[in-house]
Chain A
Amino acid sequence: MVADLPTGFWSGWVIVLTCVSLATLVWIVLSVYFAPPDSKSTHGEIDHDPVWDTDLREGTSAPPLWWFWMLLGALVFSLGYLMLYPGLGSFEGLLNWSQGKRLVSSYENYEESFDARRAEIAATSLSELQGNTALMETADRIFRRECSACHGADGRGQAALFPNLLDVDWQWGGSPEQIEQTLRGGRNASMPAWEASLGEEKTRDVANYLLNFSDRGHAGRTVYEQNCAACHGVDGTGNVFLGAPNLADNTWLYGGDIDSILATLRQGRAGKMPAFDEQRLDAAQLKLIIAKLAR
């Protein structure tokens, strides 16, 4: 991670201009305070100084001495700074400091201070994690930070769009392995729009059949078995490998009333779960979240 320092001609340009400016400042300060006395009194004050309003004269005595010490201090500081830190063209400074390196070293400290905790979490079984109140509070915090914007602060889902994570229904499976896969890889569910191919009447039939799933003689049953069963199963229990939800229970992500079901059938649904890579959730955080969610 090399900082974007100027190179070649422009590096020299910066160095020369900076040094010339500093040298000029030193010369001005020194000559104001330590100029030979003759040029001050004879030349300056007597011969040439204008006098306004009979007695108002422009004096040439040097500013207070504490200004001198302040200016000298500032000059010494800036020289020291330019030697230690990047500033003079492509010269990186004796400390070899950069923002990027500072970040790397703070990450090293960070990793070091959390390594033991992470190793401990990695070595603990899920059921033990679930029994550990302090760690489950950590899991709650991670959940609120990373998951609550969609699934709600309590994890019960919201907006008829983001599933409840605290119930027993898991569209993509609720085993620790399946939850990990969902988190790391993300999920893309794809429910096609059916009205175009089924037509208005059959769409209504299926929607009604879904509300009366136990009615084996229902008009929508054949339509269901021909079109929907491939993903949702003949018995309607769904398929966690396709993310096809269980239609035989009372959990309806997009709403379980006839209008919502019709809307789903007409326009289709494309549920999406974003992926959480290592950078968003490290292995220990991931395990804590899984411990919180898995039953």
Chain B
Amino acid sequence: MSALSLHKKIEENTGLLIFGILLVSAIGGLVQILPVLNQKSLEEPTVNTKPYSAIELTGRDIYMREGCSVCHSQQIRPLIAEVERYGPYSRAGEFVYDRPFMWGSKRTGPDLHRIGGKYTDDWHRIHLIDPRTVVPESIMPGYPWLAERAASETGNIVAKMTALRKLGHPYTDAQIAAAESDLEGLMEIDALTAYLQILGTGLDEEIAR
């Protein structure tokens, strides 16, 4: 049988044609996506990767809300120029508690994956309110309202942590019970700073070299 007579058969039989189209368009996914979903090594958190605390999780939500990932990526590629500038390249296991991940796809500002610990909390506070106070040539907008809004008003932290636990994030009952009091008295800027300071710190020191 040649492909031409097969083609004729398929063209004259709608059911067969639909099946054929589905089969062909599924092959890419069957080869590239399905095995990855079943690859345990990609779901293994790196040594120091922990689920985000109530404060960090709130900071992460603020990061999403303010669209930080529009200008900042969180993925360091295994190229010497990036590793020299930003630090060890990103590993899959560092993102297991990111739902969704904030990899981003454009760098108007620098990559932020290894920003944790690079600057002090005070620096982040000043820089977030008005970046030009510390970096005169910066084109980043200021986010002064972060210092005026309470972190506890950014969504329902207990509901968020409970939902994430259902997805497999190992939060304890005590952590969830303490979540609201953890946020007490904190402003959004404190939560965002806490999130920025934890970024990229999940790597084993051995690998980091």
A interface residue numbers (CB < 8 A to B) = 4, 6-7, 10-11, 13-14, 17-18, 21, 27-28, 31-32, 35-36, 39-40, 43-44, 48, 60, 99-100, 102-103, 106-107, 110, 148-150, 152-153, 158-159, 161-162, 272-275, 279-280
The closest CB in chain A to the CB of B89 belongs to: A103
Pick from B51-59, B75-83, B179-187 the stretch touching chain A.
B75-83
1/0 per residue B11-50: CB within 8 Å of A? 0000000000000000100110011101101100000000
Question: Could you write out 17 A-B pairs with CB less than 8 Å apart?
Answer: A4-B41, A4-B42, A4-B92, A6-B39, A7-B39, A21-B27, A40-B4, A48-B8, A106-B80, A107-B80, A149-B127, A161-B123, A162-B134, A272-B122, A273-B120, A274-B120, A279-B208
| Known contacts A6-B35, A161-B122: A103-B3 contact under CB 8 Å | no
Residues of A with C-beta under 8 A to B136:
153
Q: Are B78 and A103 in contact (CB under 8 A)?
A: yes
Nearest 3 A/B pairs, CB to CB: A10-B35, A35-B2, A31-B3
User: From B84, which residue of chain A is reached at the shortest CB distance?
Assistant: A110
Given contacts A4-B42, A21-B27, A103-B89, contact A150 B4 (CB under 8 A): no
Residues 109-165 of B at the A interface (beta carbon under 8 Å): 117-123, 126-127, 133-136
Enumerate chain A residues within 8 angstroms of B42, measured Cβ to Cβ: 4
B4 touches A103 (CB 8 A): no
C-alpha gap A10/B32 in the complex (Å): 10
Q: In the complex where A17-B31, A274-B117 touch, is A4 in contact with B4 (Cβ < 8 A)?
A: no
Question: Which residue, B38, B88, B119, B122, has most C-beta atoms of chain A within 10 A?
Answer: B122
Q: Is the interface of B mostly helix, strand, loop or mixed?
A: helix
- A28, B30: Cα distance in complex, Å: 21
Smallest CB separation, A86 vs chain B (Å): 13
A10: B residues at CB distance < 8 A: 34-35, 38-39
Given A14-B31, A18-B31, A43-B5, answer yes or no on A150-B123 (Cβ-Cβ < 8 Å).
Answer: yes
Chain A: CB-nearest residue to B121: A272
Within 8 Å CB of B65, what residues of A?
A: none
Measured in the bound complex, the distance between the Cα atoms of B89 and A106 in whole Å is 14
Residues in B whose Cβ lies below 8 Å from that of A106: 79-80
- In angstroms, Cα B135 to Cα A79, docked, is 51
A33–B34 Cα gap in the complex (Å)?
34
- Could you tell me if B3 and A35 are in contact, using CB atoms closer than 8 angstroms? yes
- Which residue of B has the minimal Cβ distance to A32? B3
B87 at the interface (CB under 8 A from A): yes
B99, CB-defined interface residue at 8 Å: no
Identify A99's interface contact among B78, B87, B119, CB under 8 A: B78
- Does B209 sit within 8 A of A, measured CB to CB? yes
A102 to B80, CA, bound (A): 9
5 additional A-B pairs beyond A28-B3, A35-B4, A280-B87, beta carbons within 8 Å, are: A10-B34, A10-B35, A44-B4, A159-B133, A159-B134
Question: In chain A, what residue has the closest Cβ to B80?
Answer: A106
Given contacts A31-B3, A274-B117, contact A158 B209 (CB under 8 A): no
Closest B residue to A2 by beta carbon equals B41
Q: Is the CB of A149 within 8 A of B119?
A: yes
Complex-state Cα separation, A156 to B92, whole angstroms = 41
Q: Are the CB atoms of A161 and B5 closer together than 8 Å?
A: no
CA distance A152 to B171 in the complex (A): 41
Interfacial chain B residues near A110, Cβ < 8 Å: 80
**Minimal Cβ-Cβ distance residue in B for A102:** B78
Report A-chain residues with C-beta under 8 Å of the C-beta of B87. Answer: 279-280
What's the minimum C-beta distance from A56 to chain B, rounded to whole angstroms? 16
Which residue of chain B is the closest to A27 with respect to CB atoms?
B3
Contact A31 B133 (CB under 8 A): no
**What's the minimum C-beta distance from B60 to chain A, rounded to whole angstroms?**
22
Assess the A274–B119 pair: CB atoms within 8 A. Answer: yes
Looking across the interface, which residue of chain A has its beta carbon closest to that of B83? Answer: A103
Complex contact A4–B80 (CB within 8 A)? no
Contacts of B27 in A (CB 8 A): 17, 21
CA distance in complex: A200, B30 (Å): 72
Q: How far, in whole Å, are A21 and B39 apart by their CA atoms in the complex?
A: 23
A60 touches B209 (CB 8 A): no
B109 to chain A, nearest CB (A): 12
Find out whether the CB atom of A17 lies under 8 angstroms from the CB atom of B134.
Answer: no
Q: Note all chain A residues with C-beta closer than 8 A to B8.
A: 44, 48
Residues of B within 8 A of A149 (CB): 119, 123, 127, 134-135
> How far is B93's CA from A69's CA once the two chains are assembled, in angstroms?
43
Q: Are the C-beta atoms of A150 and B134 separated by less than 8 Å?
A: yes
B123 cross-chain contacts in A, Cβ below 8 A: 149-150, 161-162
Smallest Cβ-Cβ distance to A18: which chain B residue = B31
